Structure 1
Amino acid sequence: MLSDTTLTAILDTTLGVVFTWLGWKTYKILWKYTPYSYPNARINAMEAKLLSEQRLGELAESRTLQNLIVNLEDTDYKNFMGSATTVDELERALERSLASTYLLMEDILPDRVSGFFRLLLEEWDVRNIASVVKAKKRGEPAVDYVLEIGTIVPRVRAMAEAKTMEEILVILEGTPYEEPYQKLLLDEISLTDFETWLYRIYYSKLLDYALSRKDEEERLILGEFVRTKIDITNIITLLRGKAAGLPGEEIRKSLVPGGTLKLDSALNVEDLGMALAELDSTKYGPVIRSVREEAEKDVSAVRDALEDYLLQRVGELTKFYPLSIATALSYILRKEREMRRLRALIRLVASGFSPERIKAIIGGGLAP
């Protein structure tokens, strides 16, 4: 029979183990969820300031660019507009606003995921580098193609002002883009291959970051987000290639690895209509089917529909994981969608389109 002393020792040891386990579980929960409380609350407040359908409809009634500028003064874009008076200046204001949103997310989110938003900014690095190099190749003023958003804007400006193509190689030295540009300079790859290489670098970094997260929920959310973006990129590349009459093997060279789709059957068909039909059996089939008629005329209709799908999917993830990075991703996607619609609205107003026509074009419930 155990003595009282022995029983007490066993009980103390058991209680110690239990409290240690409870302490560890409590710490894990606090580590996992508490860091999202403040940023999510702040993001929820920011979401309330996104332009409503009614507000966008009111902006569509501006009729002149000057009136539109005045009507934007009661929005958050006012802080980035400065003395903007032209379409180009207003678009740059939108870019600065979006860049500030990415940087804010990097600043307020937990350190273990905040770097993802810095990586997202690198998509504009890729766009800028590709646009500048293309402009240089065509002999056009490259500075006109520089977007004021990204992580290496000063380098991009220097590239645009470079007097020779060789000078650009020096500017890109030490970046991941140095090797593909060197290959381009030596005529070892085409301009299309160069651009594809840039995007492969970008998406590889995104996917590596997403899959390296220790927390299972963060890894799942970021992984699905990145893979869906890769799928969208590959679908649009495929459809544009088919619309241009390119053979499947030529299109394949421009696809980005890491997505979920196998596009072999769609690559081997003869035209755009057949490619759309092949995509009907994929998980994106219902989305593509909903814009099939428009897609036959303009592939961008598929891109818009798929981006809306991604926004919807991330919105669903926020419901499953309310205290997670999904909330920030959802806001970013909504902000990007708002910026795209505002850019279209600005151009349409400047071109003299009627308010009714503008509402119909930018869509989203604005049409009468």
Structure 2
Amino acid sequence: MEVSTLTAILDTTLAVVFTWVAYKTGQLIWKYTPYSYPNARIRAMEARLLTDQRLSELSESGTLQNFVVNLEDTDYGERLSSLSSYNLEEVERALELSLSDLLELMVKIMPKRIRGLFEIMLEEWDVRNIINVVKAKFSNLPPQDFIIPTGKLLPKVRAMAESKAMEEMLVILEGTEYEEPLRKLLLREIDLQAFEVELYKIYYSRLLKYVKSRKGEERIISQEFVNMLIDYKNINVILRAKLSSLSPEEIRNLIIPGGSLSRSTIEAMINSEDVMMALGELEGSRYGEVLKDVREAIEEGKIEKVEEALKKYMIKRMKELSQFYPLSVAVALAYLLEREEEVRKLKAIAKLIEDKVKPEKIKEIVGEMA
């Protein structure tokens, strides 16, 4: 074989190799680089999460005003500094709005290919607001008092609150996914509870549809996250329904489609005789071990302990995924869950301060929530 022929073959081989390397490098850059900035920013925010020592100090605030002042240097400071008065309702609302602010930040900084997840999660505030206004209207209460000032549909929600007739609310929601459930409610085809469930079914179906449209790691992580959210809601609904002695058919109507629990497990829980037997049906699932330590609390009717255990597990699982996929959406989702738990504890401290509970007791209660 001539030297020129060998040279040509070698040149072609090198060109193929370099092309393949360039392609793979481009893939890696496309896959991971967009997460470098948002994850660095989230890691910095993680470092500002309140320690147990800080929560203990907040428990000694004595008054809601001191409680707010003691949070001025935290990520809640901006919202709390705008309070018009130091009452529990306003403090709790400011803390909740900080979570809305966090989701809006995620929408701005996360890669475009996963940004939609956080945009849809923001829509839960629309669901909550619509439910609150409709319930207030049916109860002849001032609906403006129940609006959380955030969400894409906030102008529509405020218009609903100011409407004079129920039918006006239907016109305001025309063209949205929430129009049909409201129509059914006004025609008395469903009750208020079913209306609320219908809205949440719409919300979670949108989340599921979105995460299933993702690819690779983003689909793996975001789909597991949404499945856990649905499992969390369904498990709590079933256990609370069992405590209230609802019939299997009534419970079945409250279930959100989706999640990682099999249909047979959900059905077994629904058809179980009591709350403890319903809990027993989870023993073979991913949540069996998680809930083993709260059986005694459930026997006493403390379903909030189930909620705490499940949220703790969700945080742990997202943190595991963030370690396995360090440059991924798992970092943001883990932090979001941590902040939700932090807000839950802060709201508990504020409520206990308002109720004049002694600092030592507040510390004890909040410590049990960890």
Q: State the AA in 1 paired with 2:230.
A: I
1:139 aligned counterpart, secondary structure: coil
CA contact (8 A) 1:203 1:230 kept: yes
Report how far residue 151 of structure 1 moved: 2.5
When residues 364 and 44 of structure 1 are mapped into structure 2, their CA distance, relative to the original with a 3 A threshold, is farther
For 2:295 and 2:62, the matched residues in 1 are separated by 32
The structural deviation recorded for 1:6 is 2.4
Aligned to 2:272: 269
| CA–CA distance in structure 2, aligned partners of residues 171 and 180 of structure 1 | 13
- Describe how 1:43-122 pairs up with structure 2 within 5 A: 43-81=42-80, 82-83=82-83, 84-122=85-123
Aligned position for 1:356: 360
After alignment, is 70-79 or 19-28 more displaced? 70-79
CA RMSD of aligned residues (A): 1.5
* Worse-superposed segment, 218-227 or 285-294: 285-294
Q: 1:278 aligns with which of 281, 306, 311?
A: 281
TM score, norm. by length of structure 1: 0.95
Deviation at 1:196, TM superposition (A): 1.3
Q: CA deviation at 1:289?
A: 1.7
For residue 210 of structure 1, what is the aligned residue in structure 2?
Answer: 211
The equivalent residue for 2:247 is 247
Q: Shift of the alpha carbon at 1:9?
A: 2.1
* 1:68 partner letter: F
Distance 1:5 1:192 in 2: 81
The alignment partner of 1:148 has SS state of coil
Structure 2 partner of 1:30? 29
Give, as a single letter, the amino acid of the residue that structure 2 aligns with 1:122.
E
- Cα offset, 1:112, TM superposition: 0.6
Question: Could you report, residue by residue, the CA deviation over 1:316-340 in whole angstroms, capped at 9, with x for unpaired residues?
Answer: 1111001100001111111111111
Report the CA distance between 1:281 and its aligned residue.
3.0
Q: Percent of pairs identical after alignment?
A: 54
Aligned residues: 364
Relative to structure 1, the CA distance from residue 365 to residue 274 in structure 2 (aligned partners, 3 Å threshold; closer, same or farther) is: closer
Amino acid at match of 1:168: M
C-alpha distance after superposition, 1:43-93 (max 9, x if no partner): 111111111111011000011122212212222222112134111111221
Contact 1:92–1:148 (Cα < 8 Å) also in 2? no
Please give the secondary structure, in 2, of the residue aligned with 1:314: helix
2:305 to 293, 301, 319: 301
2:148 maps to a residue whose letter is L
* Cα separation, 2, equivalents of 1:279 and 1:148: 38
Distance across 2 between alignment mates of 1:127 and 1:160: 13
Between the aligned partners of 1:165 and 1:271, the Cα distance in structure 2 is 39
Give unpaired runs (5+ residues) of structure 1: none
C-alpha contact (below 8 Å) 1:64/1:349 kept by paired residues:
yes
Give the conservation status (yes or no) of the 8 Å contact 2:345–2:369.
no
CA contact (8 A) 1:53 1:365 kept: no
- Identify unmatched segments of 5+ residues in structure 2: none
